[in-house]
Amino acid sequence: MNRKYALSGILLIAISVLALGYLALNRGRPQEVTFDQLSANPDRYRGKSLVIEGFYFHGWETIVLCEGLEPSGLAEGHLVPKGETIWVEGGIPRDVFEALHRQEMMGPEERFGKIRVKGRYEHGGEYGHLGGFSSQIVPSEVEMLQWSP
């Protein structure tokens, strides 16, 4: 009977050590989120490192990560941000920026494409051009994703 209790105790300790190790390893790891998750509870992610996929759009006074792109209706084939938008503070790495699609239908050149961003998320302030955005992400890593307009 004592041996049975001893084995149960050892098993319980082993499981506890593994669980604590898993939690310690994942504590500093950024959380993958969607635009829906951010929209539903932005305060939950404030100040945290996260990973999110979306569409990068760089245009006149607009540098954002957005849910999608849609025709503007102002010029044939001209795309603009659609859905939720997050200001991208500091922009993205030059090599990713150079690989983006380009359009010049409405004036200055605009760039856009699908990306995956790892960075610190902020919410609840006034960010971007003239404080027009309620959230921002400060990228630490950016990866271009395959996508075609």
Instruction: Check: pTM over 0.95? Answer yes or no.
Output: no
Residue 96: phi and psi, rounded to 5, are -70, -45
**CATH code, residues 33-144:** 2.40.50
**pLDDT tens-digit readout, 87-97:** 999 999 999 99
How many secondary structure helices (H) and strands (E) does the chain include? 4, 7
Residue 67: phi and psi, rounded to 5, are -65, -35
Residue 81 in contact with residue 63, Cβ under 8 Å? no
Q: How far apart are CA 26 and CA 93, in angstroms?
A: 26
pLDDT surpasses 70 at 49: yes
